[in-house]
Structure 1
Amino acid sequence: MTAPRILVISAMRDEGPHLLEWIAHHRALGVSDFLIFSNGCDDGTDVLLDHLHAAGIVTHVRNEVAPGKTPQWSALKTAARHPLTQAADWIAVLDCDEFVHLKPPLSGLPDLIAAVGEADAIALRWRLFGHDGHARRPQAPTLRAYTRAIVPDALYPALSGFFKTLYRVAGPFQKPGVHRPRQKPQARPRFVDGSGRALPDDFVADPGRILLWDEGQGADLAALNHYSVRSAEDFLIKARRGLPNRTAKPIDLTYWVERNFNMVEETGIQRHWPATGAELARLRALPGVAVAETSSRAWQAACFDDLLRDPAMAKLYGRLLLAAGSTAPGAEAARALVALYRRAAGTG
């Protein structure tokens, strides 16, 4: 049986030190194609992507962003018409801090696709990982350096219920979306959670729904590890560059507190490391790749030193270290907070 053609679409800026591990991990899981849009990079991520493009590892597009539009939405608009999107069997839109975590006995994304049978889409719920005590960027790669996360059954904050979607291109969808694909009007795709369980009709019927509260907590088959803060050093550089999907949203102490969870040890994704590490070595051996990665790391180190000369950034850095880790509330308190949120938003 021919393996499905799986495409990952991403928009990124200044991700050079993390890019190769992210690509290696997903190639090891069976991703066949990467369509990556770079957005005004300062650290040489675009140069690194050029070398990977030349080697046939990714397809790199320098993103031309129209005034008033965000880089990610501009990228997705272009991606919807791209030949790789048309040729794919399954698609996921992922950021460079999101790593698919497959549970035993699955060893690759084709195994996950086979396990969910006739499903059109799989909601991969975020598992929020914290800075794991790292003030400076560690030498170890992300999957080995950051092993502390939020509890798996957290109901609050709302971010613990966000997800990304791996979806079947032949399903009732129009084009890729950030969290879930744009579905055709009146369509009812077969949506399952990370345990392969069908999601409720009200979720399926609402294409704008990007948050799972009580439903869809299943992760027996797969989850999405989200390393959105990493070290305090990484976070400061992220604060400088901004987000790909929101040009106005600040990356500040609030952003850190809502994502920096170091509650429990979670190392399950390291079962993929032998394959990821081998693929990472192959990528670094490609012409120009290792030099470009090293150059990106050097630029970011210098950038961090410059940022600490800014009083506002130095103050933020200190506050990040004071806010050493958030704690998700218990179930009763979480449900009360969810009820308050829904009432305030007019949805409950």
Structure 2
Amino acid sequence: MATSKTLILSTMRDEGPYIIEWLAYHKAIGFDDFLIYTNDCRDGTDLLLDRLEQNGELTHIRNNVLRRGPQKSAYKDAMTQPAYKNADWVLASDVDEFLNIHVGAGHVQDLLARFPKAETIPICWRHFSHNGHEGLLDGFSISALTDAESEQAAPKAVGRFVKSMFKPSSHIARIGSHTPMYDDEYTPKVQWGAKWLEVNPDEKPHRPTTDFGYDTVQMNHYAVRTLDTFLLKRDRGDVNYMKNRLELEYWQRWCLGGTQDISIHKHLPATHAEFNRMMSDPVVAALHTAASKVHAQRLETILGNPEVQKLKTEILTSVGMVSNAPKRKIVNEHAVNLAAKAPGRHQNRLKLLGQMPKGGRCAEIGVWNGGFSECILDVTQPSELTLIDPWELLAEQSADEWTHSRHKDHAFMRSMYDHVSSCYAHLPNVNIRKGFSAQILESFPDNYFDWVYIDGNHQYEFVRQDMEMAFKKVRPGGTIAGDDFFWKRNDRMHVKEAVLDAMRAEGMQNRPTRFGQQFMITVKD
């Protein structure tokens, strides 16, 4: 059976860290060609696409932006391009949208076969929340973001938007963001292919209200990705430069969740294979890495802006960093081994966790392999758990900072991060932050956490920094807890000294409550 030639048309600006994943995924599900327009890039997106074009992966055009704006300008020009004219089917899609097909093997040809008479196949958006993630993602969006809006229509909802696959035609007057716009005479004759039209022919093809066809196909829409990614998106502006749209209202409208959806994960192996193939070019890899660094640097800059900090605090406090998605039980094999390795320590840790509030907002400093993280999730059922560890970043530091023989082993430490991510990154109430603890804690608003557990670098200066920062970031009446109170090196009890000195600096003369080597302190009101 002959296959149809398929094309994705897209516009991009400052999307460097996300391009290879998006491209790899859509190649994995069978798209043949890509026509991508860029304008005014600051992160090397255009240079990365230039290289990918040299490698035969796509066609890249620098957009001549007219008064109508970047996207409309690109879509108008696209209709004159050979890639468009040679395509049997075209999908106009953004880099935060992933076509998720539920018929056949989930490939694009399976979708086309499902609607053999169609000229246009509208595909409903399905929005995904930030999954509790605050920082920039270190990995695939489709792996980490699994908290989706409900399949059911919300009360008083006016319908869901679509994106469309369509056959190029002389009857198309212009390409719209959501559907092609046919000339007036031909519009009534268009053959639409949509599940909801089979159920109810009177339903709108471009804005269904009840049946969204998710058992056939959906467009996974990661509109916010994470909180910090959203702030960068706001800084950049959307495809039409309407920066003023990207405020708290935008977050509340599009950061939607409540139902776990990992259906797209069936394509992860093929996506990784395509990703690795493209990244095997050292120039592509270097440009991808450079773009990620630019985003991290830009984030640091904009977070110094009081207006941005205000918006971030509004989102953190008004909306919260947790969706309503049900937690799926994940068993970390390292958690199973904790009791066997050190039964006394394990029991004391469980006693300490029993003192923590249920449903609280907490952080674990020093995650290692994530074994104790499992205990925190099971015992305290936190609304938000932030996992903080440098992992392989520690291998790049001075040997003076190493307190374990494996700290210098970059590959081993990276494997631990990957393991923790595989166990917890998909959970909507877990936020994984790779970096040094005092710096990461500083990024949170004061009085943010209900409790913090400190089990990072045990040397005095690092424990002292963690303690001082924890006193700022834990709310009055909250708890600062930790491990290895009597840890000793060179005849000095580093943890004990740092904890007591930090308490005295806060005017506290009492001793911390202890369960063996576990300690806990109540922050003064």
Q: So what's the TM-score if we normalise by structure 2?
A: 0.58
Q: CA, structure 1 residues 269+105, in 2 after alignment: closer, same or farther (shift >3 Å)?
A: same
| Further displaced range: 180-189 or 123-132 | 180-189
Map residues 51-200 of structure 1 onto 2, 5 A cutoff: 51-66=51-66, 68-155=67-154, 161-170=160-169, 172-187=171-186, 188-193=189-194, 197=198, 200=201
Structure 1 residue 226, shift from structure 2 partner: 0.2
Q: Residue 231 of structure 1: which of 226, 234, 238 is its match?
A: 226
Identity %: 34
Report if aligned partners of 2:28, 2:274 keep a CA contact under 8 Å in 1: yes
Structure 1 residue 274, shift from structure 2 partner: 1.0
CA distance in 2, matches of 1:240, 1:35: 25
1:294 equivalent to 2:286? Answer: no
Q: Residue 220 of structure 1: which of 215, 221, 227 is its match?
A: 215
Q: CA, structure 1 residues 40+133, in 2 after alignment: closer, same or farther (shift >3 Å)?
A: same
| Further displaced range: 306-315 or 244-253 | 244-253
Q: Residue 253 of structure 2: which of 249, 258, 262 is its match?
A: 258
Q: CA, structure 1 residues 249+158, in 2 after alignment: closer, same or farther (shift >3 Å)?
A: farther
The residue type paired with residue 32 of structure 1 is D
Report if aligned partners of 2:16, 2:288 keep a CA contact under 8 Å in 1: yes
Structure 1 residue 165, shift from structure 2 partner: 0.3
Report if aligned partners of 1:155, 1:213 keep a CA contact under 8 Å in 2: no
Secondary structure of 1:203's counterpart equals coil
Deviations 1:251-286 (A, max 9, x none): 111000001123111100111111111111111113
- Residue 29 of structure 1 is matched in structure 2 by 29
Structure 1 residue 152, shift from structure 2 partner: 1.0
Q: CA, structure 1 residues 155+172, in 2 after alignment: closer, same or farther (shift >3 Å)?
A: farther
Q: CA, structure 1 residues 83+40, in 2 after alignment: closer, same or farther (shift >3 Å)?
A: same
Structure 1 residue 196, shift from structure 2 partner: 7.6
Structure 1 residue 30, shift from structure 2 partner: 1.0
How many residue pairs match? The answer is 321
Structure 1 residue 172, shift from structure 2 partner: 4.6
- Residue 494 of structure 2 is matched in structure 1 by none
The residue type paired with residue 133 of structure 2 is H
Q: CA, structure 1 residues 249+186, in 2 after alignment: closer, same or farther (shift >3 Å)?
A: farther
Structure 1 residue 118, shift from structure 2 partner: 0.8
Q: CA, structure 1 residues 201+179, in 2 after alignment: closer, same or farther (shift >3 Å)?
A: same
Structure 1 residue 88, shift from structure 2 partner: 0.4
Report if aligned partners of 1:122, 1:196 keep a CA contact under 8 Å in 2: no
- Residue 247 of structure 1 is matched in structure 2 by 242
Q: CA, structure 1 residues 69+34, in 2 after alignment: closer, same or farther (shift >3 Å)?
A: same
Report if aligned partners of 1:122, 1:194 keep a CA contact under 8 Å in 2: no
Q: CA, structure 1 residues 190+198, in 2 after alignment: closer, same or farther (shift >3 Å)?
A: farther
Report if aligned partners of 1:91, 1:166 keep a CA contact under 8 Å in 2: yes
Report if aligned partners of 1:195, 1:219 keep a CA contact under 8 Å in 2: no
Q: CA, structure 1 residues 57+245, in 2 after alignment: closer, same or farther (shift >3 Å)?
A: same
Structure 1 residue 121, shift from structure 2 partner: 1.2
CA distance in 1, matches of 2:107, 2:155: 30
Q: CA, structure 1 residues 156+19, in 2 after alignment: closer, same or farther (shift >3 Å)?
A: farther
The residue type paired with residue 317 of structure 1 is K
CA distance in 2, matches of 1:227, 1:300: 18
| Further displaced range: 101-110 or 255-264 | 101-110
Cα RMSD for the two superposed structures: 2.2
Q: CA, structure 1 residues 172+2, in 2 after alignment: closer, same or farther (shift >3 Å)?
A: same
- Residue 345 of structure 1 is matched in structure 2 by none
The residue type paired with residue 48 of structure 2 is L
Deviations 1:290-320 (A, max 9, x none): 0000000000000000011000001111222
The residue type paired with residue 103 of structure 1 is H
1:313 equivalent to 2:312? Answer: no
The residue type paired with residue 40 of structure 1 is D
CA distance in 2, matches of 1:19, 1:248: 22
The residue type paired with residue 200 of structure 1 is P
Secondary structure of 1:111's counterpart equals helix
Structure 1 stretches lacking a partner, 5+ long: 205-209, 329-348
Report if aligned partners of 1:103, 1:221 keep a CA contact under 8 Å in 2: yes
Structure 1 residue 326, shift from structure 2 partner: 6.9
